[in-house]
């Protein structure tokens, strides 16, 4: 039996960098990792209608256009679906404070109380394992770990699959054999502490 619970590695693409200034999620994806296996065949991936225009700067990064999300459901429909997908797991993201910050704001548009699971961060894990390295972006971490970069970087599902591979590789390199060790290396500050 694995010493780890199931993880849900997730990523969001957004209209900008700050959800408190009205920026919204336009895509969310997740993949479950169980017993060291990435369950790619049952991944979650959805466009989200942000109910606003996607700025040119954001389109240059993720290549998601207004037409792509026009007929997509809004976050009040997609977020509960994603959380159902992630049920009974711990969330993992690269630069998790960014993605979790969006979930914290976006959950306010959902009907009823929405509780987000515990979330750990592969960027924090990289910083703990490679403290003398200056850069810890997903691209740099992937290259450091000799992982192949997907053709479609900055789209939610390819980024999720890359992050999941990075997570498993770093756990192996760091000889992280318990959830307690992973938490101590990859925990993020709580949003309420900001």
Active-site residue, from 46, 62, 94, 154: 154
Torsion of CA 103, 107, 155, 135, to 10 degrees: -10
Q: What is the distance between the alpha carbons of residues 23 and 59, in angstroms, rounded to a whole number? A: 13
Report yes or no: 1 and 52 within 8 Å, Cβ to Cβ.
no
**Do the beta carbons of residue 19 and residue 105 sit within 8 Å?**
yes
Note if 154 is an active site residue: yes
Tokens linked to 131: 């403290």
The Cα–Cα gap between 68 and 80 comes to 21
- The token pair that represents 101 in the structure block: 């910050």
Provide the annotated active-site residues: 154
């Amino acid at each position: 039996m694995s010493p780890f619970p199931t993880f849900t590695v997730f990523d969001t693409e957004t209209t900008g960098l700050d959800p408190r200034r009205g920026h919204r999620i336009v895509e969310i994806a997740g993949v479950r990792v169980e017993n060291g296996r990435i369950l790619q065949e049952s991944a979650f991936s959805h466009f989200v209608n942000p109910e606003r225009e996607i700025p040119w700067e954001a389109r240059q990064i993720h290549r998601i256009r207004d037409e792509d999300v026009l007929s997509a459901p809004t976050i009040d429909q997609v977020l509960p679906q994603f959380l159902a997908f992630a049920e009974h797991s711990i969330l993992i993201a690269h630069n998790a404070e960014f993605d979790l910050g969006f979930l914290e704001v976006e959950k306010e548009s959902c009907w009823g109380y929405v509780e987000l699971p515990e979330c750990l961060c592969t960027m924090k894990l990289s910083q703990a394992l490679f403290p003398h390295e200056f850069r810890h972006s997903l691209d740099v971490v992937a290259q450091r770990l000799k992982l192949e970069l997907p053709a479609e970087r900055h789209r939610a599902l390819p980024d999720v699959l890359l992050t999941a591979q990075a997570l498993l590789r770093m756990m192996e390199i760091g000889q992280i054999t318990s959830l307690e060790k992973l938490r101590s290396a990859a925990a993020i500050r709580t949003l309420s502490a900001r």
